[in-house]
Amino acid sequence: MAKQFRFPDVGEGITEGEIVRWLVKEGDEIKVDQAFAEIETDKAIVEMPSPYAGTVLRLHFNEKDIVKVGQVLITVGEKGEVAAEAPPAGGPTIRAEERPAAAAARTAKAEAGESLATPKVRKLAQEIGVDLKTVQGTGPQGRITEEDVRAAKEKAAQIPAKPAIKVKAKFDFYGSIERLPLRGVRRATAKRMAESASKAAHVTHFDEADATVLAKVRERMKPAAAAQGIKLTYLPFVVKTLIAALKLHPMLNATMDDEEQEILIKKYYNIGIAVDIPEGLIVPVVKAADQKSLLDLAKEIQTLANAARARSLDLADLKGGTFSITNVGMIGGEAATPIINYPEVAILATMKIADRARVENGQVKVKMTLPLCLSFDHRVIDGAEAARFMNDLKKMIEDEASLTAALKAGD
């Protein structure tokens, strides 16, 4: 017997996915747990395993189609079986059996070329614009009643009008244009950014840390990291100092539950690292970051970033974050206003570490500095608390004793 497999609810608010590639075709034999499609959902591409064994009777979508949770993806059965049309996501539509008398009456009316209805019913049909020839009567001998006419009118109102043919111009008034469909990672990023901007009360606090000590310590540790095949960037240092500051300011290591109107302060530290890829932005999460050494952090960040660019991350790699970092500095720039990774309540953007002219004791000096930009949800965090957090973060970066203590945590 043919069995239909629907696109399952994988949680985390995911309601749809894009079929990237079918791994089987109609007529192929398939085994239980064999992957039959690659589907992109909320920034990750996952292989969908089949719960059934048999012959692939029908693939219900094309590649690049958007499929909603609950819609039928594939029908599997015995060779030679015919696959039925997929019912809607909510389940099969049950159609009432026609009454024999009504069916016979309808046949008689068709042969006579007229409908059985009283003058009163005909007048009602004319007033509300119902063609009696399209109405099935439920009265005696198939007679059309007032209820039948009103039901036909209501049913007609529920049938959507045929969409007008859309002509998409390849030129506007000024010249040629290119249209790119909003799909995959870009689509997921757009939805999440819009959700965050509409729900969180965004405020950005700008500051700057003296990176002289940080650069010196990094240079000192680079040979040991290189010996283990690890490229030691500034990012794991920032993660270490960030966690030390979050422990002093736990309100920033939280998420907002809008439905329950509760702030969920997290007692663990899962740090999301924004990774720029051609298709958009992906934020894999380093779990239990406070329990890992600097070199372990550097290695894991590097591994996750490579997996993100190769689109081989697991969905679990994208979940559970408590605070996010976006490292804009590797590209350039002096300041930014990052969008919070909702439902988290804060995100830190680190800009380019570079020599800058700064005034110290009335004299202009060249100093190596790190611009820091903290966006926070003002519903949860006050501006004064954000400023105190940034002061402590700067101290962890600028003071060698504080930096050393932060780096040793988790070793």
Grouping H, G, I as helix, E, B as strand and the rest as coil, residue 102 is helix
Mean pLDDT, range 361-384, rounded to an integer:
95
CB 40 within 8 A of CB 101: no
How would you list the strands of the sheet with 3-6, edge to edge? 3-6, 72-77, 54-59, 29-30
Q: Which residue has the higher pLDDT, 169 or 346?
A: 346
Burial class (CB in 10 A: 0-12, 13-18, 19+), 272: buried
The pTM of this model reads 0.67
pLDDT > 80? residue 99 = no
pLDDT > 80? residue 116 = no
Q: What is the pLDDT of residue 120?
A: 79
Mean pLDDT, range 323-335, rounded to an integer:
91
CA separation for the pair 303, 312 (Å, rounded):
11
Q: What is the pLDDT of residue 171?
A: 81
Q: What is the pLDDT of residue 161?
A: 57
CA separation for the pair 271, 261 (Å, rounded):
24
Determine if the peptide bond prior to 343 is cis (ω within 30°): yes
DSSP-assigned states of every residue in 297-348 = HHHHHHHHHHHHHHT---GGGGS--SEEEEEGGGT--S---PPP-TTBSEEE
**What's the pLDDT band for 395 if we cut at 50, 70, 90?**
very high
Percent of the chain topping pLDDT 70 = 88
Mean pLDDT, range 239-255, rounded to an integer:
97
Percentages (nearest 5) of helix, strand, coil residues in the chain: 35, 25, 40
Q: What is the pLDDT of residue 93?
A: 32
Q: What is the pLDDT of residue 108?
A: 42
pLDDT > 80? residue 43 = no
Q: What is the pLDDT of residue 367?
A: 93
Mean pLDDT, range 333-346, rounded to an integer:
94
pLDDT > 70? residue 56 = yes
**What's the pLDDT band for 98 if we cut at 50, 70, 90?**
very low
The average confidence (pLDDT) of the chain is 86
Nearest 5°: phi and psi at 393? -65, -45
Please give the positions annotated as active site. Answer: 378
DSSP state, 225? H
CB 106 within 8 A of CB 96: no
CA separation for the pair 35, 29 (Å, rounded):
12
Q: What is the pLDDT of residue 104?
A: 44
Q: What is the pLDDT of residue 152?
A: 85
Which structure tokens are listed for 47? 């292989």
Mean pLDDT, range 364-386, rounded to an integer:
96
Q: Which residue has the higher pLDDT, 386 or 192?
A: 386
Q: What is the pLDDT of residues 197-215, one digit of tens each?
A: 999 999 999 999 999 999 9
DSSP state, 250? G
Please give the domain boundaries of the chain with CATH numbers for all domains.
Answer: 3-77 (2.40.50.100), 100-158 (4.10.320.10), 185-408 (3.30.559.10)
Mean pLDDT, range 134-153, rounded to an integer:
84
